[in-house]
Structure 1
Amino acid sequence: MNKTIAVFGGSHESTLKKLAKQHGCSVLFHNGKTRNGGNKKEFKNIIKKSDIVVCLYGACGHVSMDCVKEVCKRLNKKLLFHKMGASGAISLCIEELS
């Protein structure tokens, strides 16, 4: 498939990357934690390089989530939301990319 998934939130970067690799995809990861609100420049760099973006509810701060939403809208990137769980998040993205 050779697509790139941006994941915001959580702490299971290695698991996300392993699961995505099984589907022929790669993951760009950000834990969703920022000091003094979201870092648009950092988020923009990650989102620009991705084919699809997923935010993990409960693992990503509200300010970061709003920032990701805004950048995705501006760059016309598909944004998905998923409750916790690495495998579910990757499956959701794979399904949407198919």
Structure 2
Amino acid sequence: MGEHLALLRPNGRYVLCGGAGGAPGTGVFEAVLNGFHNSPALFAFSLNSLAPEARRRTWDRVVALLAEGRLSAVLDRTFPLAEAAAALQRVERGRSFGKVVLRRG
């Protein structure tokens, strides 16, 4: 994640939602501090820290942002279904940044 923080513009924002791969390592904070003069903002969001009603309100907000066109997913790469093994290897090796998508045909 630290290498991606370096890609932010001044006053850029990095949002981590869910963290299915586990908590970010301590090196993340080093990257934030190294870019301190660029004023990066790091937002981390874990569903485990919210009550069910707060999760629902948050989900409703995400859906509204999507409907407004103000939010989009980061797409790393699309693979044909026949290359599912290669897609899984990409994710397993930590080479993906964003969603890895399998498509039919």
TM-score tier, shorter chain, comes to: 0.3 to 0.5
- Greater relative contact order (Cα < 8 A, sep 6+): 1
TM-score (norm 1): 0.38
Larger radius of gyration: 2
TM-score (norm 2): 0.36
